[in-house]
Structure 1
Amino acid sequence: MPIKIKVPGKLMIAGEYAVLEPNQYAIVAAVNRYVYADITPSNQYKFSLPDLGFETVSWVSNSHSIEFSETDEKLQFVQNTIMIVKDYLNEASIHLSPFHLTVTSELDDPSGKKYGLGSSAAVVVSAVSSILALAQKQTDSFHVNKDLIFKLAALAHVKTQGSGSGADVAASTYGGWLEYSAFQADWLLDQMEQKSSVRALVDQPWPYVSIRSINPPAELRLCTGWTGKAASTGPMIKQLKHGQQEHRNIYHTFVEESHEAVEGLIRGFDQNNLPLSLDSLKKNRAILVKLGKEVGMLIETPKLASLSELAEQIGGSGKSSGAGGGDCGIAFVRSQRQAEQLWEAWREAGIEPLNLTVDHNGSTWHE
């Protein structure tokens, strides 16, 4: 009988870009669009990614690598994930019999629209969760927890992407609204180079990482709108890193101001203070817009500006979500009635409201 896995996507709420720096916080939420996986014993190691056009890919492993029956850059996330989890389990003296892993996603629209809900991170978390769940089923003494899933998935994601905060990995793993402070990707890559043991790296504390579940004010309604244009996080981060060298004072000021805005939003959540939450989100938007203008990056597109301004016109606040440059924007409003007003205004402006709610379960599985 297959083990079935369900992993949510994510929305970045606040703290983008600054979260890449030590001791800087972001707020991220898991949402009710999912990546699904199932894993079952098989006569050979194989996996299926039908959404990417891979019906069945077989693989063989030796002590140092995994060889796939197909070669494609799109398979790198899965390849690195399987290798890292396999190494971890081998070091724990757990040897899995062959399995067939199938992963499907509803994070993007069936028509091909890409919403920017953290697809690669959710796929990696689903693959890690699947293999660990099978190991737990086959090994009485082995028990999976979400901290282990998060660390293994973060290792695979950073190894493949070379950068990132891991906030999307955390949301897909733990679920809910999270206050998140990131590891340093460069440190993690260095540790992977230096350490021969995945288990030792997973077991040691990771500097700067902090993950705490938080809850928004009771009346707050989260709205999400898609601008009609897909964006890619990796190139945006590289562009900022390049600009960071040229505009050090600007970037330093941005990080300080972002810290203040995100701290205000966290306080608003912790104190059930809706006005403070709305004001802090508005401040975070202004800080990101200013950064984009000063370093020559289009973080807030005209559609994202319209999305936020329409939210402000009815007494809410809004901003881009994630790297910006397209994809989704978010808004906080004070009631369901305001949310419905905003959705209608967005439609008239050519912005597609998305029916997203916060998922509080994170990665789950059952037989």
Structure 2
Amino acid sequence: MTTIKVPGKLFLAGEFAATYSGQASIVLAVNRFMRFTIQPHDNYQITSDQLGIYPGLLFEKENNPLNDDAWQIVTQACRTIAAYLPATKIKHTQPFQLQITSGLELDGQKIGLGSSGATAVGVCQALLMYYQIPFTKYELFKLATLTLFQLPHFQKGSMGDVAAAVFGGIVYYEKFDTNWLTHQLSTTPLSNIVQNNWPQLQLKNLHQPKTWELLVAWTQSPADTQNSLQRLPVDPTTFLSASQTTVKQVATALENESWTAFQQALAQNQSEIITYTKAANINYQTSQLDHFLQLIQTFAIPGKISGAGNGDNALAWTKLQDTTKRHAFIQACIKADLRPLPLTIYHE
């Protein structure tokens, strides 16, 4: 029996731009998890505390009775690993039972922590470990990304949740060339795609200042990230260029532990995203999130809306020594009907 845990994610910077090839973003892995337990079994069986028992055949797309519902990531991940196996030394596969338990909800609600990416990563990783196939973090990222990329609902996504789930900590991520990957999928065996270098892809962990504390405020209203990516035809060139510069400034500020530069860069990225989403007619700001942005200005602390907006979460940072300010900020969030979540950055 093998059990793994996969962390959830929160975006720190680079949202919306991160859905475009070559664009930079910064993603945080947080200490709420999905757990995957796999063991030998008489036949293939997958169970989920959210979805029950999967009733179809795992590896045959045409026999999948639930191809368009919530099981699609799980079944597609199984097919991705099945397509990858011929390139390994595994000649015979043994049936398994896979149990999936999610801790990325609160009071039965999703809280914007990237369950899709965590699911793709967890199923792929569990099967690789079960069949004793060595893998690097880059290979796991690619396999989980290929899983989601082959599902139409997720093709426009950034895959930042995958990056955080695989690498942990604070992740600097530049998205791969999606046109290249689309072409590869129609011309190249999947195992070769995994082994190839992906144009424009960059992934690395950033430094986490030890005296900076994260605070997450939840709006208690779930957002649908994929629907938020449906935009009016707006030329994104200016936005993408500005975001790229600003996200790199955020990364540099973290590396240098420069509090003022960090605060300024986050505020700049927030302003860029607001301008872009208004132009593209994307539902981004809500009264609660606007109130949060007012609070971080009042308390003079770094902060920003996290992810696609229109619900879910916002982030703020305080210093360890500023306990009075942190407590007052938390109380102000609660008064504004923003629920503080006990989340910290998760390192493996």
Q: How does 1:195-206 map to 2 (within 5 A)?
A: 195=188, 197-206=189-198
Is residue 279 of structure 1 aligned with residue 264 of structure 2?
A: yes
Is residue 152 of structure 1 aligned with residue 150 of structure 2?
A: no
Is residue 348 of structure 1 aligned with residue 335 of structure 2?
A: yes
C-alpha separation in 1, matches of 2:302 and 2:148: 32
Contact 1:165 1:185 in 2 (8 A): no
C-alpha separation in 1, matches of 2:56 and 2:238: 50
134, 143, 146: which one pairs with 2:134? 143
* Alignment match, 2:70: 74
Aligned residue type for 1:51: Q
Is residue 212 of structure 1 aligned with residue 204 of structure 2?
A: yes
Contact 1:311 1:333 in 2 (8 A): no
46, 56, 59: which one pairs with 2:57? 59
SS in 2 for 1:190: helix
In structure 1, stretches of 5+ residues that fail to align are: 137-141, 362-367
SS in 1 for 2:343: coil
* Alignment match, 1:21: 20
Query: How many pairs are equivalent?
Result: 343
**1:75 CA displacement:** 1.2
Is residue 96 of structure 1 aligned with residue 87 of structure 2?
A: no
C-alpha separation in 1, matches of 2:169 and 2:62: 34
Query: % of aligned pairs identical?
Result: 29
Deviates more, 1:115-124 or 1:285-294: 285-294
Is residue 108 of structure 1 aligned with residue 100 of structure 2?
A: no
* Alignment match, 1:365: none
C-alpha separation in 1, matches of 2:30 and 2:230: 27
TM-score, normalization by structure 2: 0.93
Contact 2:21 2:178 in 1 (8 A): no
CA 1:57–1:90: 2 relative to 1, 3 Å: farther
RMSD: 1.7
In structure 2, stretches of 5+ residues that fail to align are: none
Contact 2:10 2:29 in 1 (8 A): yes
How far does the alpha carbon of each residue in 1:217-263 deviate from its partner, in whole angstroms, 9 at most, with x for none? 34322111111211111111122xxx2x3x31xx2221122122212
301, 318, 325: which one pairs with 1:316? 301
**1:162 CA displacement:** 2.0
How far does the alpha carbon of each residue in 1:24-79 deviate from its partner, in whole angstroms, 9 at most, with x for none? 21110100000001001011111112212x235352546xx473465651111111
TM-score, normalization by structure 1: 0.89
Aligned residue type for 1:274: W
C-alpha separation in 2, matches of 1:329 and 1:60: 37
* Alignment match, 1:236: 228
How far does the alpha carbon of each residue in 1:322-341 deviate from its partner, in whole angstroms, 9 at most, with x for none? 11111111112233513322
139, 142, 164: which one pairs with 2:157? 164
**1:133 CA displacement:** 0.6
* Alignment match, 1:364: none
SS in 1 for 2:74: helix
How far does the alpha carbon of each residue in 1:100-127 deviate from its partner, in whole angstroms, 9 at most, with x for none? 1111101011x22221100011011110
